[in-house]
Structures are given as C-alpha cells and as structure tokens.
Amino acid sequence: MKKTKLLELRQLINNDEDKAWKKIISLRREFERNFRQIFASLELLRDVRQAIEKANEVISASLEVMCDPVKIDEMEPGHAIGHLSRDYLHALILANHQQSLDPRIVYLGMVAGTLHDTLGSALVKRYAENQRVIRHAEASALMFLEISKIIGLDCREAMMIAYSIAAHTHYLKRHKVVCTDGVIRTTRPYPDTLQNGLPIYPVIFTRWCDRLDLIGPCYFGRHYLTLTNDHKDYNLNDFCQIKYHSHMRPLNRTSRQIKLDPNGPTFCEHLQSIIETQIFQSPYGRYDYGFVMWLREQLKASEKRILKGFERPTALSLREETKLLNNWNGWLATKVEPSTLGVKASEILHEKFLGLPQETKTVWYSAMSSTLEEYQIWSKQMRKFLDQVSFCRQLPLLGEATNVL
C-alpha cells in the first residue's frame, strides 16, 4: 500500500472515528442481511487444496502491499510477526483438516484467520479497546478493504473476509464507549449464526485461528510480552487494569475474589479464565468439532500442565537462574515474537522480573521451565502437521513462517 494511503486510513480511523464507524456499520448491514445470497454467488472452488492455494495468493499479495508503510516496531509485541506467523500456520493445518467444509469457506477463513490482527495493529493501539469503537479488529477490516482494491480482489470476497476479520474478537455483550471525539457509541456483538441458527463458518474459522494462539505455551509467552507497559485488557467479560507487579503475583483465586481486588486478575487467573471458556458449553467453543476440538484440548492440557508449575516453587542457584532466564528471554525474542520488537520487549521485561520479590520469582522459575518444555512438544507437533500441507514458506513482511517453531 502506498504510504499516503496508509496515512490517510490511519488519520481517518484515529481522527474521524464517526466516519470510520459508519463504514463498519455499512459493512455489517450488507453482510448480516445478505450473507447467504452473496456467498452462494461466489466462484466455486474445486477442493480444499485449491482453497489453500488461492488463500496463499491473497495473503501474500496483501502482505506485499503492507511491506513498505508498515513498521513492525510500532505494533504491540503480542500481536506482531509472531502472532501473524502462528495464525498463518494454524490456518494452514485447519484448512488441511476441513475436507467436509465448502472450499470457499476454507479460503475466506484462511485469509481472515491469518490477517485479522496484524493489519489493524499497524493503525491503532491494541490496548485502547475500552476507549474506541473502531478497535484493532475493525481497523484490520477497513485496512483489508483498502488492500483488496489494490490487489484487485473480487468485492464480494473482500466484504466476506473483512467482516470475518472485524468479527474475530468475539465480544459477548454490548459496550457503551466514550470515544476519543467525546461521543458515546455502543458496540454490539458480531453474530456467528444466521437467523435460522446455521453457523457462519467464515467467521468461525477466523476465530478458530485466533483462539489456537490464545491457549498453550505460545500464548503464555504472548501474554507475558504484553506486560511491558500498564494497560487495560479484557478478562472475565470486562476490561480491567493490568500492571506488571500485581499481575505477576502467583495467585489463582475465585472469580468473586478477583472482582473484589482493585489490582485485577493475576497472570495465572487470566490464563485460567481463558481455559475455562474453551468448552462446548461456552459461546466460544460451541462450534468446535473434529480436528479443531482435538487440537484445542491438546493445547488446554498443555497450559494446565504449565499452570501446575506455579504450585511447585523451584529453588535455583544463581547460575541456574541466569541460564533459565537467558533461555526464557531468548525464546521470547526468537520464537514468540521473532523481531527487534520481541528483543526490546524481552529486555524490558527481564529488568522488571529482576525487581520481583524472590518468593515470586521462585514460583515463576518452575512455570517458565514448564513453558519451554511444552513449547518443544507443540513445535514438534506443528512440524508434523505441516509436513502434510503444501504451503508458502516465505511470505512478504513475515519471512519464513516456520521461524516460530
């Protein structure tokens, strides 16, 4: 994308939220009223292999457009190259295991599932969600609509992908927001079913990709990288303040106890709350089935083993502490977020960690060690799955997708 176009879009989203919001309302109206007719009119794809090939072409072309104007260092460390890489790899393996879905769904979901965060992260601050109605998801959708014009994508496909991108965050309730222009606007959840109750699978596929990087060892690292600055994050159906020292307390309490604490949830509690929602009875997991459900359960089991580490404090010698922290920081900077952004974030967090009470660090050593072990298991499993898929190993902006393995 020409730099001027990106700057114009960034200015629109950040300085004229009303106009940007109207664009999102228009996108929602068109999609939610006419999804079935528009989807039925899309060009048929022969099979999932063709869907993957087409998705790869659109993803590659979109990232190529992004190369010049986008600065990775301006993104949030938990939503940059590392997350994009894992979303792409998850999209690939999910696509390869969805032979029963219409290939057009696989194509749309794979593109949206890969690009849902990175585009918007280049435009808005990821953790300003409680102050905006054009959040990172909506910003990503608007960015994709602009990119689709440049790469000559069918406008019907572009609309389907943009909506799926906007809907990926899956907030469950309305939010009244006092926006930066002083106007109070109300967001409402994006539906994942039609009026007849049938699932909207392009949206669901996109959410699958995102959720697979929301549990397991990589999310442990991703969430840790977000702690470089104090911010507000979404937890237990509401926004809450996150500060490094209070968030790092090795506590795992009840929901009631957490809500009574002005310091908000701890790291353990945040992860535990996510694990508890990844079930069939939850709005988040009700459309999981087959391979995605199996993979979800594998990642949940992995994260539970990591959290068990908090129950086993590990006393280390100074030499052992240094070695573990070097391994931990190296993993953050080369696997979780393999960029200069990851290096900077890991250095900041290293200094913060050294300032924690010794008894807190002792508990965290065990969790860090467990995370690194679980990551090796995840990495080997992902490589095994990817051996079954033909895919683009090199992508613009991203480079080698498997660098995160």
Q: Cα(112)–Cα(210) distance, rounded to whole angstroms?
A: 10
Q: Does position 1 have pLDDT exceeding 70, yes or no?
A: no
Count the Cβ atoms, other than its own, within 10 Å of residue 244. 18
Which amino acid, residue 253? R
Q: Which residue has the tokens 């699978």?
A: 201
Q: What angle do CA 342, 345, 350 make, to 5 degrees?
A: 120
Q: Tokens for 196, please give them.
A: 């007849």
Residue 397 has pLDDT above 60, yes or no: yes
Q: How many residues does the chain have?
A: 405
CA–CA gap between residue 161 and residue 157 (Å, rounded): 6
pLDDT of residue 271: 93
Distances (CA, A) of 135 to 169, 191, 288: 10, 17, 26
- Lowest mean per-residue pLDDT among 7-11, 158-162, 210-214, 268-272: 7-11
Which position has the higher pLDDT, 251 or 303? 303
Percent pLDDT > 90 in the chain is 61
What is the per-residue pLDDT across 33-83, written as a single tens digit (0 to 9) for each? Answer: 999 999 999 999 999 999 999 999 999 999 988 877 667 767 888 888 999
In the chain, what are the domain boundaries? 3-197, 219-388
162 in Cβ contact with 32 (< 8 Å) = no
Q: Tell me if residue 133 falls in helix, strand or coil.
A: coil
Residue among 330, 351, 153, 361 at smallest CA distance from 248: 361
Residue with the two structure tokens 């090939």 = 53
Higher pLDDT, 233 or 398: 398
Cα angle at 274 between 239 and 229, to 5 degrees?
Answer: 45
174: left (phi over 0), alpha (psi -120 to 50) or beta: beta
The residue-averaged pLDDT of 195-219 equals 93
pLDDT given at position 3: 64
Please list, in sequence order, all residues whose beta carbon lies within 8 angstroms of the beta carbon of residue 191, skipping any fewer than 6 positions away: 32, 200
User: Residue 337, exposed/middle/buried by CB under 10 A (0-12, 13-18, 19+)?
Assistant: buried
Q: Residue 11: its pLDDT value, please?
A: 81
Give the Cα-Cα-Cα angle 154, 388, 103 (nearest 5 degrees): 30
Higher model confidence: residue 220 or residue 314?
Answer: 220
Confidence at 315, pLDDT banded by 50, 70, 90: confident
Give the count of alpha carbons within 13 A of 273, CB side only.
20
Distances (CA, A) of 333 to 47, 225, 278: 38, 9, 28
- Rounded distance, CA 252 to CA 248, Å? 11
Gap between the Cα atoms of 58 and 46, Å rounded: 17
Answer whether 261's CB lies under 8 Å from 249's CB.
Answer: no
- Residue range 276-299: mean pLDDT, rounded: 92
Say how many C-beta atoms besides its own lie within 10 A of residue 271's C-beta: 22
pLDDT band at 165 (very low <50, low <70, confident <90, very high): very high
Q: What is the pLDDT of residue 59?
A: 95
Predicted confidence (pLDDT) per residue in 131-148, tens digit: 788 888 898 999 999 999
Q: What is the pLDDT of residues 97-117, one digit of tens each?
A: 988 899 999 999 999 999 998
Residue 172 pLDDT level (bands cut at 50, 70, 90): confident
Strand (E) or helix (H) holding 302: helix 290-308
| Residue 250 pLDDT exceeds 70 | yes
Range 154-166 average pLDDT: 97
Per-residue pLDDT tens digits for 349-393: 999 999 999 999 999 999 999 999 999 999 999 999 999 887 766
Q: For the chain, what is the radius of gyration of the CA atoms? A: 21
Amino acid in position 333: A
Tokens 């086993």 correspond to 312
